Amino acid sequence: MFVLFEEAGKFLAGRVLSEADSSLQVELDSGKRVKVKAVNALMRFEKPAPAEFIAAGQKLSEDIELELAWEFASEDEFAFADLARDYFSADPKKPATLEQQAAALFCLFNAPHYFRRAGKGRFRKAPAEILQLALAAIEKKKGVVLQITAWAEALAQGQCPAPIREQLYKILFKPDKNSAEYKAVVEASRSSHTAPLDLLQKAGAIASPYQFHYKRFLFENFPKGTGFPALQAPPHTEALPLATVRAFSIDDSSTTEIDDALSVSGLGTGSVTLGIHIAAPGLAVLPGSPIDALGRARLSTVYMPGYKLTMLPDEVVQNYTLQAGRDCPAVSLYVTLDEATLEIRGTVTRLELVHIASNLRHDVLDSTFTEAFFEAAHAGTPAHAADVDWAVELTFLHRLARHLKAGREVARGKPENFNRPDYNFKLDNPSGQAPEGHEKVNISIRQRGAPLDLIVAEAMILANSTWGLWLAEHGVPGIYRSQASLAPGVKVRMGTKALPHAGLGVKSYAWSTSPLRRYTDLVNQWQIIACAKHGHTAALVAPFKPKDAALFAIISGFDEAYSAYNGFQSGIERYWTLKYLQQNGITELTATAFKDNLVRADDLPLVLPAVGAMGLPRGARVRVRLGEIDEITLDITGAVIERLDLVAEASLAGADEEDDGEEVAAGPISIAVDVDEPAADLAGQVIAAA
């Protein structure tokens, strides 16, 4: 005797070895013996063999017309044998054959949209309206499957269907794995044995490599677009006193968000006052306001060669940027110094209007205000050209900057390392709109620590460290950057407590000098304004209180956004560097070995792997022949064709170990960026390690 039974949604059959009241011992064709609950035993038969019986029933079930079977089925609950009798037998009193019963069982079991299970071997027909919905869904699914197949075939043939092109970035970077577009790409990738990115590129889905990188960044970080809603820029309404100083800013010519300016008064009197004047949007843009919501959503301006996405709407920026010829609202830090010794005698913070006399541009003036110029000026040589605008003030500021830097280096325990240059990217993009990716690019070198850079950097470090301590003295929390030590692996962290920053050699460091382009600075400015207005009662009225959860949320969001923005900037600068190689027909370059098989180009912000570089000493200079460029992956390889020195130059071989922390990977997506702290306040832009 054989038995047909159900187990875990499958039908099996075997020989009955023994039987009890509630179970059977059954031997399958494979020889395996199983215990079957009596309730699961659906049919008993003597012939044919189990495998043949199941095969015959399944074959016959394929001939059953589901619509007709549904019509034949009882409106009440029924057994599969009842349906087999009604469907197959002409005589309603004559039962169906065992094979027909098995066929009915298999058919009912495999058509849940027509028949619902009501128990072991028992069913109930689905209501007509539910059946119609189910059939419509099945037909729709069939259509989707056909669509997926058609799209996959088109992709394999090098054609990209429009729906897939429109979903390109979602498919590649944040896929909905149930979508037809995603499934088509997966199917085509498998059938053609081609990686999805290569497949889509060959199919023409990626028309522009530059747009691929730019739109991917927007997809991940600006899913709602880059435009601002129509909001009126709030004017400041407070009656502020007009400062008696004339201030000037130092920025790049492309800078529109001018956050900071400087003034010097009292020269020649023995007591000099340095004024550090910071644009004050925090006087009108209040926490919780619509403009604040825009800034908090972006958290920072995004910089890229030839373009930028500002943190705040241009109307707000223009209201508060320190534009020459205007009296601008500012948060000013006045530092009183001994003119001879440069000892700091006191500081005071004021909210005021400051007249901006000039917007100096370092890319224009770097050739004038050189180290040689200032050395001559410090030596009292008449050749320092006293008739040059701001020369006297800049000469004092350069002397002060060197003094401040030297003091920080004593606290650091070693000098800061400026042995690598910064690079300026200039695009031929007169429209001012987002680049297309084919513009002519020029890359120029700018050595870190240039005199004007040094002046601004030291002034901003002084302001950020002074205000950081000032907030702590008032019991008002801020957003700080700190570093416990210069030991390997100890990173800069953000927090709400005034802790030392070993990398800068200061007791505290709170970003406060770029409120137009960094949200952390705007937050700190609100706190500083509270201290300036309310003194030691500021902790009671400051927007953010100690242990405020909102501050920690801002820090978390800022860290994530700033990392993403800097990563994009570094990657897109790599794109333009590769474009520069192509545009200028550069096939070979000189480079310096520094790690594993990686080399760094001497005159370009480019790191690449080079065959033959493995095993070379750090600092070895080589000639490298460049390989093919992939503008999508931003990959380029090279091969060492000549060793330019027999022994690595001592200055390079003994490079500061801090340099290791600024290395970048050779690839595009995983490029690691470590922003140089002093440089972060230069020129109104983020200067990332290249």
DSSP letters along 478-498, please?
A: --EEEBS-SSTT---EEESS-
Task: For tokens 């088109």, name the residue.
Answer: 154
For residue 332, pLDDT over 70 is answered with yes
Nearest CA to 58 out of 103, 12, 3 is that of 103
Q: How far apart are CA 467 and CA 477, in angstroms?
A: 11
Torsion of CA 506, 508, 509, 515, to 10 degrees: -140
- Examine the pLDDT at 649 and tell me if it is beyond 60: no
* Residue 134: pLDDT band with limits 50, 70, 90: confident
What per-residue confidence (pLDDT) applies to 263? 97
In this prediction, residue 650 has a pLDDT band, given cuts at 50, 70 and 90, of very low
Query: What's residue 25's pLDDT?
Result: 94
Q: Please report the pLDDT score of residue 207 as a whole number.
A: 84
Q: Provide the pLDDT for residue 14.
A: 94
> Residue 386's pLDDT is what?
54
**Residue 121: pLDDT above 70?**
yes
**Spatial CA neighbour of 334 closest among 403, 244, 258:** 244
Q: Are 571 and 668 in contact (CB under 8 A)?
A: yes
Local confidence band at 387 (pLDDT 50, 70, 90 cut-offs)? low
Task: Flag the least confident range among 140-154, 275-289, 533-547, 562-576.
Answer: 140-154
Query: Is residue 184 a contact partner of residue 203, using CB atoms and an 8 Å limit?
Result: no
Asked if residue 158 has pLDDT above 70, the reply is: yes
pLDDT computed for residue 652 by the predictor: 44
| Rounded CA separation 467/578 (Å) | 42
* pLDDT at residue 495, as a whole number: 94
Least confident of 163-177, 252-266, 636-650: 636-650
What is the band of 527 on the pLDDT scale with cuts at 50, 70, 90? very high
Section 241-267 average pLDDT: 93
Domain 2-126 annotated CATH 3.40.50.2300:
no
Q: How far apart are CA 631 and CA 204, in angstroms?
A: 14
Contacts of 211 (CB under 8 A, 6+ apart): 436, 437
Q: What is the pTM of this model?
A: 0.77
Domain boundaries, the chain: 2-126, 130-207, 242-564, 569-681
**Average pLDDT value for residue range 88-109:** 88
Determine the average pLDDT of the residues in 288-315.
94
pLDDT digits (tens, 9 = 90+) for 483-504: 999 898 899 999 999 999 999 9
Q: Is the pLDDT of residue 690 over 60?
A: no
What the block records as the tokens of 531 is: 């201290």
pLDDT in tens, 586-627: 999 999 998 889 999 999 999 999 999 998 999 999 999 999
What was the pLDDT predicted at 385?
53
Confidence check: pLDDT of 411 > 50: yes
Using the predicted structure, report yes or no on whether residue 206 has a pLDDT greater than 70. yes
Q: What percent of the chain has pLDDT over 90?
A: 66
Look at 669 and 16; give whichever has higher pLDDT: 16
Average pLDDT across the chain, whole number: 88
Return the HEC string of 240-295: CCEEEEEEEEEECCCCCCCCEEEEEECCCCCEEEEEEEEECHHHCCCCCCHHHHHH
Give residue 289's Cα distance to chain centre: 26
Give the span between the Cα atoms of 579 and 349, in whole angstroms. Answer: 47
**Residue 88 confidence (pLDDT) above 60:** yes
pLDDT at 382: 52
- Greatest Cα pair distance, the chain, in angstroms, is 126
Confidence of residue 539 (pLDDT cuts 50, 70, 90): very high
Rounded distance between C-alpha atoms, residue 537 and residue 531, angstroms: 8
What's the mean pLDDT in 22-51? 92
Omega within 30 of 0 (cis) for the link into 48: yes
How many angstroms separate the Cα of 497 from the Cα of each of 233, 485, 530, 536, 552? 32, 16, 17, 18, 11
Mean pLDDT of 261-277: 96
Element (H, E) at 608: strand 607-611
pLDDT attached to residue 666: 36
Which amino acid is located at 359 in the chain?
Answer: N
